[in-house]
Amino acid sequence: MTSPLVSAAWLKSNINAPDIRIIDASWFPSWVAGPGAGREAYERAHIPGAVYFDIDDICATDTDLPHMLPDSVKFSSRVRKLGVGDGNRIVVYDANDFIASARVWWMFRVMGHKDVYVLNGGLRAWEEEGGNLEDLPPVVTGGRHFTPRVQSHLVKSARQVHQAAQSQSVPILDARPPGRFGGTESEPREGLRSGHIPCSTNIPSSSLVGADGKLVDEAELAALFEKYRSAPVIASCGSGVSAAVIALALAQLGNWDAAVFDGSWTEWAGDESNPVETTVA
């Protein structure tokens, strides 16, 4: 694996390959659009043959934290129903600047599937390449087995993050906007403290995506991640979605082992015993 990305031109040339599976992961935060907005966007128009992966449905249900990673049994069962399994080359895209396609890419990697890629530039790049769209549900041929081989080092718990912050042994990179990280802006989730995990560093996911909706070039990424491109890293954000954009960017630089704090700020700040730092004087 030399890159976690594929271009729209590549996908257009390979879309009919029998082992290709395309996943639409379009998702919008609830405070930006109403519930189900991602699925509605998919149903209006999607890349031909794409199935829809709903991160609010393929998730753990034994927690009140949003879209947490499900166990391997549930994940395997759900992706099999989407017609995705062993031997497939998976291409994930979305309509919102990587924010959920990177999350789904990371989820497949946690479950041990290495042949998974993100469409650079998402749906916009596909349309600009002259790719067709459809609004019909795809014909899904089920039955393909998905064998999970969980890569536990790619996901971190609050306890592990607390230990990393205390010992400063692993850098913690926060993908939220600067105002929320610094504590000068309120969190969009009502009642949640703003600020950041002690000793963490702010690298907003928006700084990783260009005006064209594609990941910024490697020179820009290298400058942003100069100290992190070959070392263990924990990525965090509001609820474990945009943190995966950091993991994706690091993979593009050759660091495939960036972990994601799944509960992220929602879990950390929701526990009053966890320390919170701000840049507010």
Residues 134/46, Cβ–Cβ less than 8 Å? yes
3-state DSSP: the chain helix, strand, coil percent, rounded to 5?
30, 15, 55
8 A C-beta contact, residue 17 and residue 103: no
- Looking up tokens 């600047």 gives 97
Q: In one letter, which amino acid is 205?
A: S
**What is the sign, positive or negative, of the torsion defined by CA atoms of 109, 111, 116, 119?**
negative
Which residue in the list 91, 99, 158, 237 is annotated as catalytic?
Answer: 237
β-sheet with 51-52: strand ranges across: 5-6, 116-119, 89-93, 20-24, 51-52
- Whole-angstrom Cα distance, residue 18 to residue 12? 14
CA 136 to chain centre: 26
Nearest to 94 by CA among 38, 36, 56: 38
Q: 237 an active-site residue?
A: yes
In single-letter form, the type of residue at position 92 comes to: V
Q: Other C-beta atoms within 10 Å of 277: how many?
A: 15
Catalytic residue positions, numbered: 237
